[in-house]
A and B are shown apart, each in its own frame.
Chain A
Amino acid sequence: MSAAFVRFDDVSLAYDGTGNAIEDINLSIREGEFVAFVGPSGCGKSTFMKLCTGLHAPTQGSVSVDGAPVTGPLKISGMAFQNANLLPWRTTLDNVLLPLEIVEPYRRQFRKRREEFVGWARSLLKTVGLAEHENKYPWQLSGGMQQRASICRALIHQPRLLMLDEPFGALDAFTREELWCVLRDLWEAQRFTVVLVTHDLREAAFLADTVYVMSRRPGRVIERRSIELPRPRALETTYEKPFIDLVQELRAQIGEVRST
């Protein structure tokens, strides 16, 4: 087995006395792997993200990333949420630049290398189709455009670990599929490690190398499934039989989880 980039050993987390939010998580994620977590609401998927990025420490077990135990917020990760969370007083371009004003070593170099950084931001915005909107404010953008900008912001400092917490959950079906392809292309080009939390089984199956199915609270991993569909995957794949069968199997598993 290749060296694990993210590794969970017997990890449990309880926020308070009401029991574990997640329990006995054992898994490892390779560098450059695209994994997706699916499960019913409240199964601790977001808790998993917080553990992974060091925003929370586990009550039991240990989490390590890149060979070192996680003790505080990781600087090698980027994050995007269901809400784009762009700063309304900043233009799209300035929003994307935000992480560079915070993460070392860019933070120190920000003034000197600003031109260069703006170049990075512009090329990222271009790849997601926002080239003409860099000077617009978030409220002048549609929901889908905001989410694109938010993904650019999560990637600008070239994180090795991208955490996505239902990033497409609030979008309409067509925009969502469009953004799947945007994310797929970004990942194919840069091959960072992605942890995607989602409710959408098609999304998980289309994008991920590995899908983890989680149980109801306390969340445990009840199934690990490798998605063997060849890459690069075209959106049309999602309407073909092998893909549909796969999604149906996953759906059946979620159904079982919900009924027990």
Chain B
Amino acid sequence: MTVNSKLIERLAPWIAVVVLVMIWEVTVRLFNVPSFIFPGALETAQALITYAGPIGQHSWQTFWTTLIGFGLGVAVGLVLGFIIGSSRFLYNACYPLLVGFNAIPKVAFVPILVVWFGIGSVPAILTAFLICFFPIVVNVATGLATLEPEMEDVLRVLGARRMDVLLKVGLPRSLPYFFASLKIAITLAFVGTVVSETVASNQGIGYLMMSAGSQMRMGLVFAGLLVISAMAMVMYELFAQLEKRMTAWAHRS
């Protein structure tokens, strides 16, 4: 009984996927939607297999540009978050700026980046970076800035320097915030890359979908969507596992 219910619990997400795919296929057939508007699940799968070669090539392009952009985002986000979070003055000074910057739709940067760097991988990397570093900065800074004053007093009474407090308490304490932000940042990074590719590239999944769409090959467009979603999910899960391992103390049950 318990073994069964556990099994069902583990299978639940897969069951949901199967059900969704079936609804998709049935709806398309039932309402006779033409495939150049909205292809069914089967047709999408077919496109996925037929164009496996080019899809693989373009997704690899998207994958590594995203990872580089994400890596930059993590590095800059950590440093900036640490600096802003470690001083009340900087926190107050920079926070509105960051919020204002974050409110700009990142697509708006793509034309600028194209002027500066031409089309191709560089704008994609930079868009991914621009879109994903914000949650990291905010989380790391918040983790550091919300340090309990008593905890700080405990160390200061011992003659701890500001740096001691930050390294011994602030940084470990902000790790759960940091890892939580990584999960958000990696999915955002994919968004950034694909957005940039659709506008300013001749490589990558974004470009593939754009050109397939212009030729009304909607099966291929949807195949592209599925691949992006799969890549983002795998990366998300990877960081979720990493978070669990690194900050087990924060996830007690």
Binding site for B on A (CB under 8 A): 50, 53, 55, 72-75, 77-79, 81, 83, 85, 87-89, 98-99, 101-104, 137, 139, 153, 157, 163
Q: Most B CB atoms within 10 A — which of A74, A81, A102? A: A102
In the bound complex, residues from chain A placing their C-beta under 8 Å from that of B151 are: 85, 87
Cβ of B53 < 8 Å from any Cβ of A?
A: no
Q: Per a CB cutoff under 8 Å, which of A73, A87, A88 touches B157?
A: A73
Rank and list the top 6 A-B pairs by shortest CB-CB distance, nearest first.
A75-B159, A79-B157, A89-B249, A102-B158, A102-B160, A53-B157
Q: Per a CB cutoff under 8 Å, which of A85, A139, A157 touches B158?
A: A157
In the complex the two chains form, is A103's CB within 8 Å of B158's CB? yes
Binding site for A on B (CB under 8 A): 148, 150-151, 153-160, 164, 168-169, 172-173, 175, 247, 249-250, 252
Q: Most A CB atoms within 10 A — which of B148, B153, B157, B172? A: B157
In the bound complex, residues from chain B placing their C-beta under 8 Å from that of A137 are: 249, 252
In the complex the two chains form, is A102's CB within 8 Å of B249's CB? no
In the complex the two chains form, is B172's CB within 8 Å of A89's CB? yes
In the bound complex, residues from chain B placing their C-beta under 8 Å from that of A81 are: 150, 153-154
Instruction: Report Cα–Cα, A99/B154, bound state, in Å.
Output: 9
Q: Most A CB atoms within 10 A — which of B148, B156, B164, B173? A: B156
Instruction: Report Cα–Cα, A111/B70, bound state, in Å.
Output: 36
In the bound complex, residues from chain A placing their C-beta under 8 Å from that of B159 are: 72-75, 102-104
In the complex the two chains form, is A101's CB within 8 Å of B153's CB? no
Q: Which residue of chain A lies nearest to B160 when distances are taken between CB atoms in the complex?
A: A102
Instruction: Report Cα–Cα, A99/B164, bound state, in Å.
Output: 11
In the bound complex, residues from chain A placing their C-beta under 8 Å from that of B150 are: 81, 83, 85
In the bound complex, residues from chain B placing their C-beta under 8 Å from that of A101 are: 168
In the complex the two chains form, is A85's CB within 8 Å of B148's CB? yes
In the complex the two chains form, is B249's CB within 8 Å of A77's CB? no
Instruction: Report Cα–Cα, A145/B90, bound state, in Å.
Output: 39
**Known interface pairs A79-B153, A137-B249; A87-B169 also in contact (CB < 8 Å):** yes
Q: Which residue of chain A lies nearest to B169 when distances are taken between CB atoms in the complex?
A: A87
7 additional A-B pairs beyond A89-B247, A89-B250, A101-B168, beta carbons within 8 Å, are A55-B153, A77-B157, A81-B153, A87-B151, A88-B249, A89-B172, A89-B249
In the complex the two chains form, is A139's CB within 8 Å of B168's CB? no
Q: Per a CB cutoff under 8 Å, which of B158, B168, B250, B252 touches A75?
A: B158
In the bound complex, residues from chain A placing their C-beta under 8 Å from that of B168 are: 87, 98, 101-102
In the bound complex, residues from chain A placing their C-beta under 8 Å from that of B169 are: 87
In the complex the two chains form, is B157's CB within 8 Å of A139's CB? no
Q: Which residue of chain B lies nearest to A100 when distances are taken between CB atoms in the complex?
A: B158
Instruction: Report Cα–Cα, A163/B157, bound state, in Å.
Output: 10
Instruction: Report Cα–Cα, A101/B163, bound state, in Å.
Output: 13
**Known interface pairs A85-B148, A89-B172, A101-B168; A74-B154 also in contact (CB < 8 Å):** no
Query: Could you tell me the distance in whole angstroms from the C-beta of B121 to the nearest C-beta in chain A?
Result: 39
Instruction: Report Cα–Cα, A157/B157, bound state, in Å.
Output: 12
In the bound complex, residues from chain A placing their C-beta under 8 Å from that of B250 are: 88-89
Instruction: Report Cα–Cα, A85/B154, bound state, in Å.
Output: 8
Q: Most B CB atoms within 10 A — which of A78, A85, A101? A: A85
In the complex the two chains form, is A139's CB within 8 Å of B153's CB? no
Query: Could you tell me the distance in whole angstroms from the C-beta of A151 to the nearest C-beta in chain B?
Result: 12
Instruction: Report Cα–Cα, A73/B151, bound state, in Å.
Output: 15
Q: Per a CB cutoff under 8 Å, which of B157, B160, B173 touches A78?
A: B157
In the complex the two chains form, is B249's CB within 8 Å of A74's CB? no
Q: Give 12 A-B contacts (CB < 8 Å), ordered by A residue.
A: A55-B157, A73-B158, A75-B158, A75-B159, A85-B148, A85-B154, A87-B168, A87-B169, A88-B249, A102-B155, A139-B252, A163-B157
Instruction: Report Cα–Cα, A98/B164, bound state, in Å.
Output: 11
Q: Which residue of chain A lies nearest to B172 when distances are taken between CB atoms in the complex?
A: A89
Instruction: Report Cα–Cα, A224/B175, bound state, in Å.
Output: 48
Q: Which residue of chain B lies nearest to A157 when distances are taken between CB atoms in the complex?
A: B158
In the complex the two chains form, is A102's CB within 8 Å of B164's CB? yes
In the bound complex, residues from chain A placing their C-beta under 8 Å from that of B173 are: 87, 89
In the bound complex, residues from chain A placing their C-beta under 8 Å from that of B160 are: 102
Instruction: Report Cα–Cα, A252/B247, bound state, in Å.
Output: 51
In the bound complex, residues from chain B placing their C-beta under 8 Å from that of A85 are: 148, 150-151, 154
Instruction: Report Cα–Cα, A19/B150, bound state, in Å.
Output: 24
